[in-house]
Structure 1
Amino acid sequence: MAKRKPEDPPKGAPAWQSTFSDLMNLLLCFFVLLFSMSTVDAEKFQQVIASFSTSMSILPAGGTSIGDGEMVSAGVNQLEFLDSYYNDLANSKSQTESTTDGEDKNAVEQYEQMQLDESEKMAEEIEKQFSNSKVQDLIDVDFNGEYVTLSLSGALLFESGKAEVIDEAYPIVNKVCSVLSKYKDNIIEVEGHTDNVPMANTRKYEDNDVLSMYRALNVANYIRDTTDIDPSHIKSSGRGSYVPVADNSTPEGRAKNRRVEIKIYNSYNSNLD
């Protein structure tokens, strides 16, 4: 039987040699390119980089690096001053926050000063209105950043243990009402205060807290009835013996603590909602 003739091997080089030769060509081109870049004129190369950055880079127009980095081989040393860049950025942010805090603090201080200035002006106007009257020495005028306080002795307004305004006190209260009428757009609060001596338990006023509340309410109602001030602008409260202005251990101190205070809030603190 005749033997089968073996097939001829394929002509040409093996397939792996083609792939290998392509790889060698690419490497050769790559190193030639590196060599050409290392010998190119530095000035012209910087001009090319600047032009390219202007049109396509994320850096500002004409910028080539964050700092003064040097061009080396196929790359760019852009990180030489990165620490300084971020430190400057953090310092700038800190300074901005500090400036903002300072501005907020100054704004608050200016606002508080405006409140105090208005209260002081109101107090001066009120003292001027009392200066030529018989009640000048019977009413104490004080102020703070929220309101002006008119303080009247309880002995001038009420009998001991009672809350009804006595007849002799009406000229004083009427003068106060005429002053209050000039501030009808402001909140007015009437506060009743007593000393710390327990009062005899009666059917009407069981303790100093209740007595102080009724005294403030009666004065507030009189202001509502005799002036054109909006009744909703007038408030009253009884504070009992909890806010003394003098020592309750002496008769003089207790006499000062038995009082009615009328607070006229300035425009910044007159919330009419």
Structure 2
Amino acid sequence: MPRQKKSEEPSAGAPWLNTFADLMNLLLCFFVLLFASSNIDAEKYEQIAASLSNNFSILQGGGSAIKEGQLISTGIKQMDNLGEYEDTMGEASKETGGNSDSTNELDMKLLEEKKEVSETMYDELADLSEKYKVNDDMEISIDPNFNYVKLSLSGSILFDSGEAKIKADALQLFSKVGDILKVYDDYKIELEGHTDNVPIRNSKYESNNWLSSARALNAATYLIEKKGLSPATLSWTGRGEYDPVASNSTEEGRAKNRRVEIKIYNDVGQ
């Protein structure tokens, strides 16, 4: 009896494979249509992605753990309370700048707070200047960005021309200014010396930069040694002729530029 041949295995091009491939294509199209018609909260998805990236480094190669357990980069699932994490991640993203509208809102609130504090400081300083009777010799103004309140004194009142030592008849005035500043000793205070653009001509100081720096240093030294202001919060610098407040083309403008400015910074955002 002749041996029967084994049935041949179907070749790669068997007809049933074509039918199977058509079925897979139809299923793929079906799921694509389902996905396209689904409603995805894109904003919440972006918040979750941003939070994961910022807080856990999942999107930058992993290597961060959520609470206790093995690292996320190992692929082990440890988020038993996924809903809780999902709810809090969006808030964390907003707080860390993930939402530009929230960032702008925070900036506006900070600016309003700085404005309120600066205006309160201005009113207090105005009252103190009247109390110590220095309001005619000292100008008070607020920084446009509400970072500080500025006291400005004419350089001609405090110093002789080309000199950095405080004049004897100006010590009483500057002592009262020190009493006012003592109220704000815990605040950051900057003392700046300014000059006009007329070149200095004496053997003590080679330029207006040196003269303005010496004036600022002498004024700061007086406030520290005589009035007890803290050198930890008081700083001083000379700006020479480089920050004019008026034109140097007239004597009146040059007189305004010769000045000492004292900036008292508020502590908002520090």
- 1:170 maps to which residue? 171
- 2:223 maps to which residue? 223
Number of residue pairs aligned between Structure 1 and Structure 2:
209
- 1:82 maps to which residue? 35
3-state SS, counterpart of residue 148 of structure 1: strand
- 1:204 maps to which residue? 204
| More displaced stretch, 240-249 vs 99-108 | 99-108
CA contact (8 A) 2:155 2:258 kept: yes
| Distance of 2:178 and 2:240 partners within structure 1 | 24
| Distance of 1:235 and 1:227 partners within structure 2 | 15
Q: CA deviation at 1:172?
A: 1.3
- Cα 1:269–1:185, aligned 2, differ >3 Å: closer, same or farther? farther
Mapped pair 1:124 → 2:123: yes
Q: Deviations over 1:118-141 (max 9, x none)?
A: 122111101111123431111001
- 1:250 maps to which residue? 250
CA contact (8 A) 1:177 1:227 kept: yes
- Cα 1:269–1:104, aligned 2, differ >3 Å: closer, same or farther? closer
Q: CA deviation at 1:174?
A: 1.0
- Cα 1:256–1:75, aligned 2, differ >3 Å: closer, same or farther? closer
Mapped pair 1:141 → 2:140: yes
| Distance of 2:222 and 2:42 partners within structure 1 | 64
Aligned runs of 1:231-246 on 2, under 5 Å?
A: 231-246=231-246
- 1:155 maps to which residue? 156
Structure of greater Rg: 1
Q: CA deviation at 1:100?
A: 1.3
3-state SS, counterpart of residue 133 of structure 2: coil
Q: Percent identity at matched positions?
A: 37
CA contact (8 A) 2:191 2:234 kept: yes
Letter in 1 for 2:117: E
CA contact (8 A) 2:196 2:257 kept: yes
Q: CA deviation at 1:112?
A: 2.2
| Distance of 2:222 and 2:269 partners within structure 1 | 24
| Distance of 1:259 and 1:178 partners within structure 2 | 20
Q: CA deviation at 1:234?
A: 1.2
| More displaced stretch, 97-106 vs 216-225 | 97-106
- 1:51 maps to which residue? none
3-state SS, counterpart of residue 163 of structure 1: coil
CA contact (8 A) 2:110 2:269 kept: no
Q: TM-score, normalised by structure 2?
A: 0.68
CA contact (8 A) 1:189 1:264 kept: yes
- 2:87 maps to which residue? none
Q: CA deviation at 1:206?
A: 0.9
Letter in 2 for 1:156: I
3-state SS, counterpart of residue 165 of structure 2: coil
Gaps of 5+ in 2: 11-15, 17-25, 51-93
Letter in 2 for 1:110: K
3-state SS, counterpart of residue 204 of structure 1: coil
Letter in 2 for 1:80: L
3-state SS, counterpart of residue 169 of structure 2: helix
Q: Deviations over 1:68-122 (max 9, x none)?
A: xxxxxx9693332433448x45466579999811001111221122222212211
| Distance of 1:107 and 1:269 partners within structure 2 | 11
Aligned runs of 1:104-119 on 2, under 5 Å?
A: 104-119=103-118
Letter in 2 for 1:164: K
Letter in 1 for 2:4: P
Gaps of 5+ in 1: 1-8, 24-29, 31-73
